[in-house]
Amino acid sequence: MQELIRNGIEIDDTFAEAFGMRATAIIITAPSLKWARQAATTMTGFATSVIGCGCEAAIDIDIPASATPDGRPGCRVMIFAMGTDELQKQLKTRLGQCVLTSPGSACFSGLEGSASLDLGSSLRYFGDGWQISKKFGGKHYWRVPVMDGEFLCEAKTGLTKEAVGGGNLFLLAADGERALAAAERAVAAIEKIPGAIMPFPGGIVRSGSKIGGKYKGMMASTNDAYAPTLRGVTKSALGPGINAILEIVIDGQTSEAVAAAMRAGLKAVINFGPKRGALRISAGNYGGKLGKFHYHLRDLLP
């Protein structure tokens, strides 16, 4: 593997391997950004990986009151799944349990897609006959009476089949503190990229995985090549100075969004430098067997 060096940080000449997904986006508004984000974080809770959660979801960006449909602060939430049916199921369940219930919330389509998914259309029956359908300005809304007034929800949102899941960066550091500091820098930079989310806790993954495992039924298991404590007893990818690794996983509305997010993350970690952050940057791939989207770190370097 040819060595690439930027600002004293070694960058592996490898690629992140990603795969096609289905995705949707919604805009949640509320009387304050705090409550819009509360609905959004509740809705995107336990949505880190399709392996165990059914979907991957997170807040994409905050939207100022001046740019939301109802003039209140809001945020855009993105949800990714492997198939349309599962995406619809997750959207409906999470919307009904977490947004409908959240004080003062309203919900709008956040994506013009090639097809549509039910939003208010699947929740309107909560109104028990008192729900009100409104069509104006080319859009369809449902108004559902609730105890603090009315839950207003657009009937449909868009679905895209162009979404990509699994963009990633491995940040290899001398210790856990430095790995986390570098990862936080990367997350802060990627959060600014529209159309890209990081579904894991705070955007960061400690448990990078490989496909399958020795135990029956395990779809994924620990990435032993990148586990510092196994250095020496397994076929390790780590040199002696690396004692902690954190991964940033990125899902994007488009392949371009994933590339832009990885580029922003790389730049942030490289600018942060090796003393306080990562000594080496790599990426996760499975030799090209996982998906058709390959993001070569070499091409994304600042």
Partner 1 sequence: MKPLTFTLRSEPDERLDLSGLTPHKLHGMQPADIARLPIGTSRRPASVGDVFKVAGKDISNIVFSGGSARFDFVGAEMATGQIRVEGDVGARAGRRMSGGLLNIEGNAGLQAGSGMKNGRIEIGGDAGDGLGGPMAGEIHGMAGGLVIVGGRAGHRPGDKMRRGVIALLKGCGDYAGFGMTAGTIVAIGRVGLYPGHLMKRGSLLFDRRPAALSPTFIDCGRVDIVFPTLFDRYLMEDKILDRPLLGKKPFRFGGDNAVLGKGEIMFPRG
Q: Given the rule CB under 8 A, which residues bind partner 1? A: 29, 69-72, 106, 129-130, 132-137, 141, 143, 148-150, 152
Q: Minimum distance from CB of 64 to partner 1 (Å)? A: 15
Region of 250 (left: φ > 0; alpha: ψ -120 to 50; beta: rest) is beta
Q: Are 197 and 274 in contact, with CB atoms under 8 Å apart?
A: no
- Our CB check for partner 1 shows the closer of 143 and 185 to be 143
User: Measured from the CB of residue 57, what is the shortest distance to partner 1 in angstroms?
Assistant: 23
CA distances from 106 to 23, 276, 282 (A): 20, 42, 41
Instruction: Provide the minimum distance between the beta carbon of 132 and partner 1 in the complex, in angstroms, as a whole number.
Output: 7
Distance CA 260, CA 267 (A): 11
Rounded-to-integer distance, Cα 58 and Cα 42, Å: 10
The smaller minimum CB distance to partner 1, of residues 97 and 133, is found at 133
* DSSP annotation of 151: E
Strands 106-109 and 115-118: unpaired
Residue 247: exposure state from Cβ atoms within 10 A (0-12, 13-18, ≥19):
buried
Q: Report the residue number, 75 or 198, with the smaller CB distance to partner 1.
A: 75
Closest distance between partner 1 and the C-beta of residue 118, in Å?
A: 20
What's the min distance (Å) between Cβ of 71 and partner 1? 6
Nearest distance, CB of residue 67 and partner 1, angstroms = 12
For the CB of residue 32, give the shortest distance to partner 1 in the complex, in Å: 14
Cα 165 to its chain centre, rounded Å, is 8
What element of type H or E holds 92? helix 84-94
Q: How far is the CB of 131 from partner 1 (least distance, A)?
A: 9
Q: Which is nearer to partner 1, 65 or 227 (CB)?
A: 65
**Do the bridges between strand 9-12 and strand 3-6 make them parallel or antiparallel, or are there none, so unpaired?**
antiparallel
Q: Which two tokens stand for residue 235?
A: 């076929």
Q: Rounded distance, CA 112 to CA 12, Å?
A: 37
Backbone angles phi and psi of 196, in degrees to 5: -130, 135
The token pair that represents 292 in the structure block: 């058709």
149 vs 288, beta carbon nearer partner 1:
149
Indicate the residue among 49 and 105 with the shorter CB distance to partner 1.
105
CB of 32 or CB of 207, closer to partner 1: 32
Nearer to partner 1 among residue 8 and residue 71 (C-beta): 71
Residue identified by tokens 């950004």 is: 33
Residue corresponding to tokens 């994924």: 220
